[in-house]
Structure 1
Amino acid sequence: MTLDDIAAPGPADRIHGGWLGRIAGNMLGKPVEQGEVWTRERIDRYLRRAGALPLTDYLPAPPDDGGAGAPLRPEWPECVRGRIHGSCRDDDIDYAVLGLDLLETHGFGFSTEQVGELWLTRLPYLQTFTAERAAYRNLAGGLRPPLTATCGNPYQEWIGALIRADIHGWTRPGDPGRAALQARRDAVLSHTGNGVYGAMWAAALISAAFTAPGPRHALDRSLTVIPASSRLARTVRRVASLHEAGVAWEDTLTTLAAETAGLGWIHIVPNAAVLTAGLLYGDGDFTRTIALTVRGGLDTDSNGATAGSVAGVLCGAAAIPRQWTEPLRDTVRSAVFGFDGVRISALAERTLRLAQAGA
C-alpha cells in the first residue's frame, strides 16, 4: 500500500505508526545485525535460498541443514517469521522508551545533564553499547557533559545518538527545527560531530514526515537542520542525486560503499546512506522501505528501526500491513526500569499527549 492509496492519517495514527514501524523495522533487522559478517550480498543469498525474495515479511528461520552462511544473532528465534510473540528487547527500542520518560519527567526544556541522570536511574549499564557505554561510564565516574562524550570514547560519530532521536520527531510533528534542537541536547551526552548531526537529522526527518507528501520532501527538509558541508549531509545528498538520476538501488549502495569505505559498519555516515536509499527507493511503501533498508546491510536493526519509524509516520498505523504488526501483540519488552511489557498503543497515546502539550 502506498501513500496514494489512503486518506491522510491524523496525528494519533501517525505517532502510533511511528512506534509500530520502529519496532517492526528493528525486529526485521535484528537477526542479521553484524555488518562485517552479514553483508548486503550475504543477506540476499540467505533470502534467495529461503525463497524470501522479494522480502515482504520478517526474516525466515535459518535452514535446518546449517546453510545460513553465517550465524544469526542469538536473539533470532524471537525475531523470525512464525516465532514472534511480542517484540524482543533491544536498545533501539529502549532509547525511544527512555526518551518518552525523559520528556514526561522533565518536559521539553530538559538538560543534557538530566538525560544522563535518567540513564543512571532507569537504564542498566550492560544494556548500553559503544558511545553510550563510554558516556555512562564517564557519568558514573563523575564527569559532566560535554566531557562525557569525549573522554575515552572512540565511538563519537557512530550511530548511537541517531537511534535515540525518534521521540523528538514524534513530539514535534511538522517542526523539524525544534525536533532537531531537542535531539541535539540528548546527543551531546555521548557524541560529537556527525554523530550529533545524525541525531538532529533523524529527529527532523521524522518530524517532517508528519506533513511531507513523501520521503524525498521529508529528506529535503531534514537536511536544513545540519551543516550542508558536513559529511553526513553530503552523503545524504549523494544518495538522493543517484536516485534522481535513475541509478538502481543496488548500484547506488555499491557506489556509496566505496565512497564511505573504512568508516566501519556502525559509523553514522555509511548507515545514513543505507537508510536514505531505503527511504527513497521504498517510495512511501512501508514494506518495501524497511525491506530495502535491512537488505542494505550494516547496522540492520538500527537502520530498519529508523526507516520503519519514518515510513510508519508517513502512512500511519492503519496502513501498515498486518504481517508486521499482528505478531508484535501490542507489547514491548524493555530493559528500561518500569516499562517492560508496556503496550505499544499506550506508548503512542502518551507520546500523543506530549505532542499536543508542545504544540
Structure 2
Amino acid sequence: MGNQGTGPDLADRIHGGWLGRIAGNMLGKPVEQGEVWTRERIDRYLRQAAALPLTDYLPEPADAADGAVLRPEWRQCVRGRIHGSCRDDDVDYAILGLHLLETHGFGFSTEQVGDLWLLRLPYLQTFTAERAAYRNLANGLKPPLTATYDNPYQEWIGALIRADVYGWTCPGDPRRAAALARRDAVLSHTGNGVYGAMFAAALIAAAFTAPGVRDALETALAVIPASSRLARTVRRVMSLHETRLPWEETLTTVSGESAGLGWIHTVPNAAVLTAGLLYGDGDFTRTLALTVRGGLDTDSNGATAGSVAGVLTGAAAIPARWKDPLEDTVRSAVFGFDGVQISALAERTLRLATAGP
C-alpha cells in the first residue's frame, strides 16, 4: 500500500489528491457549459487575455461578451480573486464520500449512500442523474430502481465525480476502489455511468503506486469491461497519443467519434480526461491546463485530472499558485462541512486509508 520507495509519502499524496481536485474544479468552473465553451472558444478567451499556455487559474475576461456567458460564480474562481474554494458538487461528493466511510465503514450499502444524501445534501444542489435518484429516494424507491426510474441521465458523469474518495482510501488497490465506487454509483447510474466511477476510482488508487500516468490508465482499464464504450474510447485516446499525434488532433478525432452523446456524458468526458493526463505527462500544471482546455464538463474533468496529478506529485510539489489561493478552506453544501480545512479532510482520509478493511 502506498509508495514504498522514495518520493511523496502517503499523507502527502492524499493531501495532493484533495488539493488537485479542488484546484482543477476551480480552474474549470467559469467555463463549465460545454455547448457554449468549446475548445476553440476557451482558447480564444485565453489568447485575448494573453494567458496561453495556461499556467494558472483563468484570467478575468478580456471581452464583456465572454464575461456574460461565464458561469455566474466566475468572480470567485479567477486569478487574484480566489479566497478559498467556492462551493461545487464536484467537491461536495468527495466530502460526502468521506463522511459515508467514516459513518458506515467500507462495508456501506447503496441504501446507506441514499440515506446520507437525504440527510446531508440539499436537493437543489444535486443535478441530472443525482437529482433523479434523489427524487426517487424521496418517493420511497429503493436501489437499483432509484437509478432507472424516470432517469434519462444514467450514463452521464455524475457517478464518476463521486469516485475520488474510494481511490484515496484504497491506495495501490484499484480493484477494491472500483468495487466501492460501483456500490455508490448504482444508486443513480447504469452502464458506462457506473463504469466511469469504477474507472476513476481505480485510476486514482493506481496513481499511488504506478510508475507513471500511462501505467495507471492501463491498470484502471482492467477493472471495467473491455468491450464497453468507455474502455474503447479510453484505449482510442491512448493509441492516438502513442502515435505522437498532437493533443488537439487527438481530441478532434475522438470528439468526432463520440458526437451526439452530449457534453455531460461519461464517454466523451473520459476522452478529454485521458488526453489531459497523457499529454500532461505527470506535470501538474500542464495536466490541469490541457484537461480544462479540452472543453465539455470542464470543472468535473479538471477536478478528476487534478486528483490524479495531485496523487502522482504529492501536495508539497504542487506549485504554490494553485494551492495558496485555496487558503486551506472548502465551501460546501454538505451539512456540517462548510468551511472545513482541506488539510483536515486529507488527515481524515489518511486515517481511513491506513485503517485497513
TM-score normalized by structure 2? 0.98
1:45 is aligned to 2:37: no
Counterpart secondary structure, 1:75: helix
Aligned position for 1:271: 269
Q: Taking structure 1 as reference, are residues 69 and 103 closer, same or farther at Cα in structure 2, changes over 3 Å only?
A: closer
Aligned position for 1:300: 298
Aligned position for 1:240: 238
Give how far 1:71 is off: 1.1
1:136 is aligned to 2:134: yes
CA deviation digits over 1:86-142, x for unaligned, max 9? 000000000000000000000000000000000000000000000000000000000
Aligned position for 2:116: 118
Give how far 1:200 is off: 0.1
Matches within 5 A, 1:31-42: 31-42=30-41
RMSD of Structure 2 on Structure 1 (CA): 1.0
CA deviation digits over 1:191-213, x for unaligned, max 9? 00000000000000000000011
> Within 2, Cα distance between the matches of 1:7 and 1:79?
35
Q: Is contact 2:144–2:186 with CA below 8 Å preserved after alignment?
A: yes
Aligned position for 2:322: 324
Q: Is contact 1:333–1:342 with CA below 8 Å preserved after alignment?
A: yes
> Within 2, Cα distance between the matches of 1:212 and 1:28?
26
Aligned position for 2:98: 100
2:312 to 286, 311, 314: 314
Q: Which amino acid aligns with 2:172?
A: G
Matches within 5 A, 1:195-344: 195-344=193-342
Counterpart secondary structure, 1:262: coil
CA deviation digits over 1:44-65, x for unaligned, max 9? 00000100001000000112x5
Aligned position for 1:14: 13
Q: Is contact 2:279–2:287 with CA below 8 Å preserved after alignment?
A: yes
> Within 2, Cα distance between the matches of 1:202 and 1:100?
16
Aligned position for 1:88: 86
Aligned position for 1:3: none
> Within 1, Cα distance between the matches of 2:142 and 2:107?
18
CA deviation digits over 1:274-317, x for unaligned, max 9? 00000000000000000000000000000000000000000000
CA deviation digits over 1:262-284, x for unaligned, max 9? 00000000000000000000000
Counterpart secondary structure, 1:298: coil
1:165 to 155, 163, 166: 163
CA deviation digits over 1:144-198, x for unaligned, max 9? 0000000010000000000000000000000000000000000000000000000
Counterpart secondary structure, 2:66: coil
Give the gaps of 5 or more residues in structure 1. 1-5
Counterpart secondary structure, 1:77: helix
Q: Which amino acid aligns with 1:198?
A: G
Q: Is contact 2:221–2:231 with CA below 8 Å preserved after alignment?
A: yes
Aligned position for 1:187: 185
Q: Is contact 2:61–2:67 with CA below 8 Å preserved after alignment?
A: no
> Within 2, Cα distance between the matches of 1:204 and 1:245?
25
Q: Taking structure 1 as reference, are residues 238 and 70 closer, same or farther at Cα in structure 2, changes over 3 Å only?
A: farther
Counterpart secondary structure, 1:225: coil
Q: Is contact 2:203–2:216 with CA below 8 Å preserved after alignment?
A: yes
Q: Is contact 2:287–2:305 with CA below 8 Å preserved after alignment?
A: yes
Q: Which amino acid aligns with 2:59?
A: P
Give how far 1:7 is off: 5.2
Q: Which amino acid aligns with 2:94?
A: A
Counterpart secondary structure, 1:335: coil
Q: Which amino acid aligns with 2:293?
A: R
Q: Is contact 1:42–1:69 with CA below 8 Å preserved after alignment?
A: no
Q: Is contact 2:166–2:180 with CA below 8 Å preserved after alignment?
A: yes
Identity %: 83
Q: Is contact 1:180–1:204 with CA below 8 Å preserved after alignment?
A: yes
> Within 1, Cα distance between the matches of 2:298 and 2:36?
12
Q: Is contact 1:146–1:189 with CA below 8 Å preserved after alignment?
A: yes
Give the gaps of 5 or more residues in structure 2. none
> Within 2, Cα distance between the matches of 1:94 and 1:218?
25
> Within 1, Cα distance between the matches of 2:237 and 2:65?
34
Q: Which amino acid aligns with 2:345?
A: L
> Within 1, Cα distance between the matches of 2:124 and 2:286?
34
Counterpart secondary structure, 2:64: coil
Aligned position for 2:24: 25
Q: How many corresponding residue pairs? A: 353
